Amino acid sequence: MLSPKSAETVRATLPAVSGAIGEITTLFYEKLFAAHPELLRDLFNRGNQANGSQRQALAGSIAAFAGHLLDHPDDRPDGMLARIAHKHASLGVREDQYPIVREHLFAAIADVLGDAVTDDVVRAWDEVYWLMAHALIAVEKRLLREAGVRDGAGWRPYRVAGRIEETDEVATFLLRPADGAPVPASRSGQYVSVQVQLPDGARQIRQYSLSGQPDGGLQISVKRVAAGRRSGGPGDAPAGEVSQYLHTQVHGGEILYVSPPFGEVVLSDGDGPLLFASAGIGCTPMAGMLAHLAATGSRRRIITAHADRSPATHPFRTDLRRLTGKLADATAELWYEEGARDEEEGAERAPGGAVDAVTVRTGLMDLTQLTIPAGTTAYLCGPVPFMKAVRAQLLEAGVPSAAIHYEVFGPDLGLQVPRQAILGDAHPGRVAR
């Protein structure tokens, strides 16, 4: 896809760009927000900017895309592009914003690398940028068209019709269209963006997995994000602005602006075995998938594995037992770091289900204790260290890499290197969020 001359230049300069890309992206965002403060106020996640995770994600995506063009010149990294395009479509990123990003990114590259940025280098990296940008724009237009979005009018008012306290930290919100029109179609595993106006006037956006599919509405579940270090994150982070707002200010009757559902990690069709592995609030997309399977009377072999600090912090704990009992061939495997004995540690009967439907253990998730059926498709969600460890265990059990799917809450830091590499270099990590 790259012209031969540009490919040669990119190959020669990729180590220098990669080595300085942290400095480049830091300067890029400074320039971008100085010229367009409305982007920080109303589009970018201010919390992710504060802790640097968004900057790492941008750096990783550019380096990964350039590396793929060099290593696989005859194809595009469509999986990576699809993940980014779904996020962009959900956030309302516009085509006319790509030249703005290009302007400030290349200004930052020139400032950091200095005389090394010759005209040939600029032309080569400009080719990389626009190959990536035009590919994303094309996918985003298709996604918006399929979602019925016209003229960029993707935000739609929803009224909060109900709220359920799942745990002390997690609340579920039932949303119904304020205009009374039908809800958009969605697939289990997808997410929506929610836009709220904060006290300082900023319209901040966050993305939340659909945790269920109620008739005539959408359902999201939100964990209150406290200040401090995030598991798998780059450093200390401020308290979540939007999650705090939803928990303290939204109790029923309020209007929230919500995007159509997007997301490429969705429940597969077919009748093969499934494994859902989650930690903490990572169980939200799994809850939606499990509810769909129960509602459709699925007879697939289903293993739901979840890890949490304790039964008290486990969202959807009661729903998990109920849904497991409704399914013909499902089991739940639970690991708690503390309080497992309060849940009758060991095997037990789920309501209406078979003996051994729910098993509770103390400690960190260890899938080597389970028998993973041949032909299993796995879905992972939780902190990146958790997913690294779980993915390694699944590969060891014979699950092919292509059958392991994952969802990341927040910027996909896995794009800093090819996704197979970051999720392949497993190391132990805490599994509770």
Encoded amino acid at 258, one letter: V
Tokens of 358: 């729910």
Task: Using DSSP bridges, classify how beta strands 228-229 and 236-237 pair: parallel, antiparallel or unpaired.
Answer: antiparallel
Rounded Cα distance between 261 and 249, Å, is: 24
Q: Is 140 a catalytic residue?
A: yes
Q: What share of the chain is helix, strand, coil (3-state, %, to 5)?
A: 45, 20, 35
* 229 phi, psi to nearest 5 deg: -80, 135
Catalytic residue among 29, 127, 129, 140: 140
Tokens of 16: 């220098």
Tokens of 370: 């389970």
Rounded Cα distance between 217 and 198, Å, is: 24
Q: Is 257 a catalytic residue?
A: no
- Which residues in 126-263 belong to E strands, given as ranges? 156-165, 170-177, 191-197, 203-212, 218-223, 228-229, 236-237, 255-258
Q: Which neighbouring-strand residues pair with 405?
A: 379
Identify which of 252, 173, 265 has the alpha carbon closest to the alpha carbon of residue 218.
Answer: 173
Q: Which helix (H) or strand (E) holds 191?
A: strand 191-197
Catalytic residue among 98, 129, 245, 406: 98
Q: Which neighbouring-strand residues pair with 87?
A: none
Supply the residues annotated as catalytic.
Answer: 98, 140
